[in-house]
Amino acid sequence: MARWVRAGVQVCLVDKCSAPHEVIESKLRLVLAQIPIIQDGQFRAFQSDAMLAGCIERVDLERATSCHATNVYGWNALFRIYLFSMQKAERFGMLSNRNTVLQCKGEEHAFEGCALPSAAARGLWEQLFFDHDAKQRLIEYTASAMLFVKHDVDPMVINWNRMVLLYGPPGTGKTSFVKAAAQKLSVRMRADYPRSYLLEVNAHSLFSKWFSESGKLVARMFGHILDVADDPDCLVFVLIDEVESLTSIRRAGGNEPSDALRVVNAMLTQLDNLKAYPNVLVLCTSNLTGALDDAFLDRADLKQYIGPPTRRTRYMILRSCVLELARTQILACTPDAFDATPTDTSPDPTKQLWALSELCDGMSGRRLRKVPLLAHAASEHPHSMMVPWSAFFESLLRILKEDQSDKSTADL
């Protein structure tokens, strides 16, 4: 029996799109209803309609997590469509040696902000792969937190801080995950919050050369954050990246200058003040995998460990690299040549890529995204287009083996 399945459709419109949104939406629904199998990820079939192709830059599909069915057809899905345009590349920041909010000029910043959705994070969400349902957990946590806010759930009864902590080894995608999630949520929650900002706090720079000024800097920085958050129509994501630079100072305790401790405590107090703003979500990352500071742990509602990628995730990352090289015709293979669910008995080239992903055990996501370029450069066809996938894979194999042996000598 056919089951109704819910799916989210994020539609990024081109800058100069003048067509009414209702027309775009109803035309898109007609195309979506004909999809033979709904798959998560970028959806390109709308391009066959000239009007849609002229108005839409990109469409991303996502099935609801409750849907475990493998084959879901367009005609038995309930699509929730989110139309949006990218915001101008407006960035602003507070230079750590000045008082004022200024345009970025490449100097070290204590705090930097940008309007969402931003072109810089386009497609980032779809290119991140994790072994568990980390993405869905974060989205569902936020949806519940925002629902609680909307319906005035008493925080004295149910305690929540709207604070998330992602922790794990470096290069596993934590910072990118936060940026991608903020982008995604800004689109989803547009009906409640027409404007969204991502404000990045650079924890390192708070302890830079203007050290004695740091306490004041924290206060000023949060002053700016609250200025943005004062607008109730604005959803504010505060990213505190590599929060361990703050927590390590706390742990060092008496041995550190007391000024440092004061700065960290000022920061924690300011974070507590943010609780009064229902439109603010604080997203922290930490590269520490061991004991984390209780001060941050206690405040975080959701603590998510992001570990090194498993074989399946490594396959998905390498596959996305290979598909990009196929799309740009640097590699000669068709995009559907690589199965999303590989096994040892899959046909080539899936099987070979699956074998390669076994070999790069212990590699971070960041490193995995670097090896394809090295493999192309080291292949027999370094300056060529349409490199045969078999030649590319041979080169990739060499690079991965070198990488592994470098690692084992480094481990000695």
Chain residues binding ligand ADP by CB under 6 A are 127-130, 170-176, 285, 309, 317, 365-366, 369
Cis preceding-peptide flag for 349 (omega within 30 of 0):
yes
| Contact present, 86 and 122 (Cβ < 8 Å) | yes
Interface region with Mg ion, contact rule CB under 5 A, candidates 174-182, 228-236, 302-310, 314-322: 174-182
Q: CB under 5 A: which stretch of 60-68, 140-148, 155-163, 170-178 binds Mg ion?
A: 170-178
**152 CB burial (10 A radius; 0-12, 13-18, 19+):** exposed
Choose among Mg ion, ligand ADP, none what residue 184 binds, the Cβ cut-off being 5 to 8 Å by kind. Answer: none
- Of 32 and 180, nearer to ligand ADP (C-beta) is 180
Shortest reach from residue 47's CB to ligand ADP, in Å: 26
**261/254 Cα distance (integer angstroms):** 9
Nearer to ligand ADP, 129 or 237 (CB): 129
CA distances 242 to 125, 236, 275, 280, 299, Å, are 20, 19, 21, 19, 16
The reply on whether position 286 binds Mg ion by CB under 5 A is no
Q: Rounded distance, CA 365 to CA 180, Å?
A: 15
Kindly tell me which of 52 and 281 has the beta carbon lying closer to Mg ion. Answer: 281
Q: Which is nearest to 356 in space by CA: 404, 308, 388?
A: 404
Which residue, 8 or 365, has its beta carbon nearer to ligand ADP? 365
CB of residue 376 vs ligand ADP: minimum separation in angstroms? Answer: 17
172 binds Mg ion (CB under 5 A): no
Smaller CB separation from Mg ion, 24 or 240: 240
308 in Cβ contact with 169 (< 8 Å)? yes
The nearest distance, CB 408 to ligand ADP, in angstroms, is: 22
Separation CA 405–CA 407 (nearest Å): 5
Q: What are phi and psi of 95, to 5 degrees?
A: -70, 140
- Which residue is closest to ligand ADP by CB? 365
Min dist. Cβ of residue 14 to Mg ion (A): 32
CB of 54 to ligand ADP, least distance (A): 31
Tokens matching residue 219: 């206060």
Sign, Cα dihedral of 201, 206, 210, 214 = positive
- 175 contacts Mg ion (rule: CB under 5 A): yes
Distance of closest approach, residue 170 Cβ to Mg ion, in angstroms = 7
Q: Name the binder of 165 from Mg ion, ligand ADP, none, CB < 5-8 A by kind.
A: none
Instruction: List residues near Mg ion by CB under 5 A.
Output: 175
